[in-house]
Structure 1
Amino acid sequence: MLLFAAALWLSWRHAPDWLSRHMGDAASFTSLFQGSIRFNSYVGVAGAAALHGSAGATVAAVALALMVPAANLLCVMAFIGAGTLGEGGLLRSLKALTRNPLVLACLAGTALNLSGIGLPGWSGDAISLLGRAALPLGLVAVGVALRPRVLVSSGSVAWLASLLKLLAMPALVVVLCRWFGLEGVARDVAILFAALPTATSAYILARQLGGNAELMAALITAQTLLAMLTLPLWLAN
């Protein structure tokens, strides 16, 4: 994620004209950035559990705790750097980051875990019921968010982001897994999360922070549909 974030930013700032046209203006670039960096955590947890059961879900939870705050911070920094926020934008972006429920949940869960406090025993059944309901509801929300009509007017940015997110990033992670000797469940989850389509929540951030929300909707739609083809290919690697 850090490598892709740096490459995208440097490319947009210093790219030749022909490439800059495909990356769009400041608002469109933030959508390209989110579409190349963020990932759909609902699909990731569902896929990890389907592949490896509770072991896969556990590794996915560890990945989420690390990746969700990092992804949101990188994306907010991209909005700030691109200048889409206007006056008072830094404060507004920080407020949006501190109100992000995924970031707050990861930080709270990590704090409870590392402190040894944990959750009270009586809450286990209730939270388990909420957890079982959250995943299918999240997947329903993914389907509702699809907007095939906006793909027609999205231009080349949507397809560039899809190429980077669904092909280039998982290819890099496959190489890194071999380099570091990662195997088994950890390897599968790493490749899965690299190959996931972008997050539906990216649309909300685009609206809040001055991005191109319609383009973001097109990216979400294109990547979610294309991932039905690319995800099985990467997981069979």
Structure 2
Amino acid sequence: MSAFLAALVPVILITALGRFLGWRKVIADDGWRAIERLAYVLLLPALIIRALAKAPFEEAPWKLMVVLILAQCLLGAFALLARRWPGIRRPEIGSIIQSNVRWNTFVALSIASALFGDEGLALVSIAAAAMIPVANILSVTALTSHAERGDLPKRNPVTELARNPLIIACIIGGALAAFNIEIPELLDLTIDLLGQGTIALGLLAAGAGMDVAALGRSGVKTVTWSLVRLIGLPLLAISGAIALGVSGTSLAIIMISAAVPTATSSYILARQLGGDAPLAANLIAMQTVLSVATMPLIWFTCLSLGLF
């Protein structure tokens, strides 16, 4: 089995286990949401801080950040073509744009760490620092501007970013690395213990929260825009990376970060901000399933072309 498949299969199995546990109601739905929240506000930030503080590279890979941000913006703009889809409603457009710009950080971290160890974790953390703010701003703007409800809560994406635990973690970890500050041993061990369960819990919660019934509701629209997201974002990102001369591990991380499915939190935000929540659920489920085929396809295509 290739190294990539060896990294991908455990992700699939843990996500499927989460779906099974959710189906069996081993943990109540509110419990899964609490686990996901814990992983997001505490465990994942701990993992990111330690990964960035111990990053084994000498200079910030700014090209990686630029490429991923540009790819997000371009695919988000491309989703505006959804307006031409016969009979489409405005909230559906907002959900499609959000689906195009969000990504599943837990899947990317799992695959990158399995393939590239600490360097993979650090580079995906940097990708998160670049992509998460852009995804939030584009998603909130798209959902609210295409909403048809007048009772929506007002949300300032810039203010929310300042409180985002992942952004705060990236700043702390980046500062530690920039000033060569070592984390005290006991604190380092504590943060390490917190981070160890992050990816597994995140994948389990993502699986438990996936709406399998949404696959049965999926039509041509869901399949089409899922493929646009799963193929379009990595194609744009890889093309930009090659144009800027990015190669090796950084290029592989760009591919992984762009090729993972959209974030499972897309459903909650679509429901809160006037998007089409059922369509968001359909896109999450369809992309999660299709990515099992599209990610290896993109990876092995890049290998055959000698890109990494």
Work out whether the TM-score is over 0.5.
yes
Residue in structure 2 matching 1:106, options 154, 167, 170? 167
Paired position in structure 2 for 1:41: 105
The amino acid of 2:255's aligned partner reads I
The amino acid of 1:212's aligned partner reads D
Confirm whether residue 221 of structure 1 aligns to residue 285 of structure 2: yes
Across the aligned residues of Structure 1 and Structure 2, the Cα RMSD in angstroms comes to 2.5
- Measure, in 2, the Cα distance between the counterparts of 1:189 and 1:4: 19
Show structure 1 runs of 5+ residues with no match.
none
Larger displacement relative to structure 2 (227-236 or 121-130): 121-130
The amino acid of 2:166's aligned partner reads A
- Measure, in 1, the Cα distance between the counterparts of 2:159 and 2:197: 25
Paired position in structure 2 for 1:131: 195
Residues 33, 78 of structure 1: 8 Å contact kept? yes
The amino acid of 1:104's aligned partner reads P
- Measure, in 1, the Cα distance between the counterparts of 2:182 and 2:148: 40
Q: Against the structure 1 CA distance between its residues 138 and 118, is the aligned structure 2 distance closer, same or farther, given a 3 Å change threshold?
A: farther
User: What's the CA shift for 1:87?
Assistant: 4.8
The amino acid of 1:142's aligned partner reads A
Paired position in structure 1 for 2:123: 59
Q: Against the structure 1 CA distance between its residues 88 and 173, is the aligned structure 2 distance closer, same or farther, given a 3 Å change threshold?
A: closer
Residue in structure 1 matching 2:142, options 64, 68, 78? 78
- Measure, in 2, the Cα distance between the counterparts of 1:203 and 1:96: 21
Residue in structure 2 matching 1:5, options 71, 76, 79? 76
Residues 162, 168 of structure 2: 8 Å contact kept? no
User: What's the CA shift for 1:65?
Assistant: 0.8
- SS state of the match for residue 198, structure 1? coil
The one-character-per-residue Cα deviations of 1:79-98 (angstroms, maximum 9, x if unpaired) are: 12213452564x2x227972
User: What's the CA shift for 1:152?
Assistant: 2.4
Residues 145, 217 of structure 1: 8 Å contact kept? no
Paired position in structure 1 for 2:233: 169
User: What's the CA shift for 1:118?
Assistant: 6.6
- Measure, in 1, the Cα distance between the counterparts of 2:181 and 2:160: 22
- Measure, in 1, the Cα distance between the counterparts of 2:118 and 2:197: 17
User: What's the CA shift for 1:99?
Assistant: 7.8
Residues 40, 199 of structure 1: 8 Å contact kept? yes
- Measure, in 2, the Cα distance between the counterparts of 1:43 and 1:85: 33
- Measure, in 2, the Cα distance between the counterparts of 1:129 and 1:216: 34
Identity of aligned residues (%): 31
Q: Against the structure 1 CA distance between its residues 67 and 203, is the aligned structure 2 distance closer, same or farther, given a 3 Å change threshold?
A: same
Question: TM-score scaled to structure 2, two decimals?
Answer: 0.67
The one-character-per-residue Cα deviations of 1:111-147 (angstroms, maximum 9, x if unpaired) are: 5633859786242222211111111000111211222
User: What's the CA shift for 1:187?
Assistant: 0.1
- SS state of the match for residue 152, structure 1? helix
- Measure, in 1, the Cα distance between the counterparts of 2:217 and 2:74: 29
Larger displacement relative to structure 2 (202-211 or 106-115): 106-115
Tell me how many residue pairs correspond in the alignment.
227
- Measure, in 2, the Cα distance between the counterparts of 1:189 and 1:235: 11
Residues 145, 221 of structure 1: 8 Å contact kept? no
- Measure, in 1, the Cα distance between the counterparts of 2:290 and 2:253: 19
User: What's the CA shift for 1:156?
Assistant: 2.7
User: What's the CA shift for 1:188?
Assistant: 0.3
- Measure, in 2, the Cα distance between the counterparts of 1:84 and 1:126: 47
- SS state of the match for residue 199, structure 1? coil
Confirm whether residue 210 of structure 1 aligns to residue 274 of structure 2: yes
Paired position in structure 1 for 2:246: 182
- Measure, in 2, the Cα distance between the counterparts of 1:208 and 1:138: 22
- Measure, in 1, the Cα distance between the counterparts of 2:105 and 2:119: 16
Question: TM-score scaled to structure 1, two decimals?
Answer: 0.85
